[in-house]
Copies of this chain bind each other. A is one copy, B any other.
Amino acid sequence: MNGPQDLGGAMGFGPVRPEADEPVFHAGWEARVLGLTLAAGALGHWNIDASRHARESLPPAVYHASSYYEIWLRALEALIERQGLLRPDAPVPHPRRLSAAAVPAAIAAGTDYARPVAAPPRFRRGDRVRARNIHPRGHTRLPRYVRGHVGRIEAEHGGFILPDAHAHGRGEAPERLYTVVFDGAELWGPDAEPGLSVSVDAWESYLEPV
């Protein structure tokens, strides 16, 4: 979706403000939100794409006025509500509750997002491709600033779960993933900084041959 998360090329946010000796968390509640989000994710009711979609689905005024962990918190609240996890009739405890003992292994394992794809790659390294001009109402990982623009395939990474399907309960629908490089002037025209190139990682259905 063309939501508030799609920030590439937007203006008006002011300077970047690095913080010297920045702590990992700026308040105790931020740490709790991180922990709650990861632990709740382990329950299996949603995946990372659904989480991201919950965040980008916050009203833009809320998204822009919220700190990062506040966005996480609001999305977590929304996911819990949607799944009814706090309803009186939900079983207690949840059968997949993450135990403290299981945390190190869960973090160390992560989640493998790669999936085999039988069909041969549609594009090869060096091919010129156009990022499709799509404007889906749901989740996508093709940012608006590259849509309609022509780039070059730099690498093919094999199959990966497609977020556009996965975020909405439509399965993993794996597709090949490519790194596509765009010249700065192709993306930003005469206002591009000289000597710039920008790449995105794009699923095959995001691309069309030129």
Please determine whether B133 and A13 come into contact, CB atoms closer than 8 angstroms.
no
Interface status of A132 (Cβ within 8 A of chain B): yes
Inter-chain contacts of A133 with B (CB < 8 A) = 187-189
What CA separation (Å) do A2 and B12 show in the bound complex? 8
The complex is assembled from copies of this chain, and their number is 2
Pick out which of these stretches binds chain B: A56-64, A77-85, A100-108.
Answer: A56-64
Question: How far apart are the CA atoms of A3 and B10 in the complex, in Å?
Answer: 6
B11 near A3 with CB under 8 A, answer: yes
Chain B minimum-CB-distance residue to A12: B3
How long is the Cα–Cα vector from A58 to B13 in the complex, in angstroms?
A: 9
Interface range on chain A: under 10, 10 to 19, 20 to 34, or 35 or more?
A: 20 to 34
- Return the chain B residue nearest A189 by Cβ: B133
Whether A132 touches B13, Cβ cut-off 8 Å, given contacts A60-B64, A64-B60, A64-B61, is no
Find A12's partner among B10, B60, B188 (CB 8 Å cutoff).
B60
Contact with B along A73-103 (1 / 0, CB 8 A): 0000000000000000000000000000000
Contact of A65 among B1, B65, B132, B148 (CB under 8 A): B65
Q: A13 is contacted by which of B9, B60, B64 (Cβ under 8 Å)?
A: B60
Contacts of A192 in B (CB 8 A): 135
| Residue in B closest to A10 when the chains form the complex, CB atoms | B2
Q: Cβ of A190 < 8 Å from any Cβ of B?
A: yes
In the complex, the answer to whether A134 meets B9 with C-beta atoms within 8 Å is no
A188 to chain B: closest CB distance in Å? 5
- A14, CB-defined interface residue at 8 Å: yes
Closest to A65 in B: B61
CA distance A30 to B61 in the complex (A): 21
Chain B residues, CB < 8 A from A13 = 59-60
Chain A contact residues, CB within 8 Å of chain B = 1-4, 9-14, 56-61, 63-65, 132-137, 147-149, 187-192
Interface pairs A-B: 5 shortest CB-CB: A133-B189, A61-B64, A135-B191, A2-B11, A3-B12
Given contacts A60-B64, A147-B189, 5 further A-B contacts (CB under 8 A): A2-B9, A3-B12, A61-B64, A61-B65, A134-B190
